[in-house]
Amino acid sequence: MQPRMVMDENKLTVYLTGEIDHHNARSIREAIDCSIQSNKPSLLRLDFSGVTFMDSSGIGLVMGRYRMMSLYGGRVRVVELPESLERIMKLSGLGALNIIGSEVHEYAE
């Protein structure tokens, strides 16, 4: 399951879909990392609007991409998070990194 990715200026948006578990996190991760390495975006947007299920593998996916983007001096934003996934995202401590939220917050920084 390869996510659709759109590079716009310095911004890479990844449209995640379906279920994110340990099994399919690997191919998603590889596809995103490949795109980060070739495009070197300053902002990585992970769009969760199409995600119907995720377990802690989704948290690992976000944390790993956060670390990778930090290496390049870039930032990560988790956007369009469905209500059903808010609890698990909050549990992760990712809230403390201040990377969850919409474009409005992004420009208000």
Partner 1 sequence: MLNEMKLSFDSRSSNEAFARSATAAFITQLDPTIGELNDIRTALSEAVTNCVVHAYRDTIGKISITVTIEDGSLVTIRIRDKGCGIADVKQAMEPLYTSAPEEERAGLGFAVMQSFTDKVSVRSTVGKGTTVTLVKRLSRRVSNG
33 makes contact with partner 1 (CB under 8 A): no
**Residues contacting 65, CB < 8 A, separation 6+:** 29, 32, 33, 36, 44, 46, 76
56 makes contact with partner 1 (CB under 8 A): yes
Site string for partner 1, 66-105 (x = CB under 8 A): ------------------x--xx--xxx------------
Nearer to partner 1, 53 or 72 (CB): 53
User: Cα–Cα distance between 56 and 27 in angstroms, integer?
Assistant: 16
**Nearest to 36, CA basis, from 67, 58, 78, 80:** 67
57 makes contact with partner 1 (CB under 8 A): yes
Nearer to partner 1, 43 or 63 (CB): 63
Write out the E strands in 21-109.
Answer: 43-54, 75-79
User: Cα–Cα distance between 81 and 101 in angstroms, integer?
Assistant: 8
**Nearest to 50, CA basis, from 85, 77, 74, 98:** 85
Number of residues engaging partner 1 in binding (CB under 8 A): 22
**Which listed residue (23, 27, 70, 97) binds partner 1 by CB under 8 A?**
23
64 makes contact with partner 1 (CB under 8 A): yes
| Residues near partner 1, by CB under 8 A | 19, 21-23, 25, 29, 53-57, 59-61, 63-64, 84, 87-88, 91-93
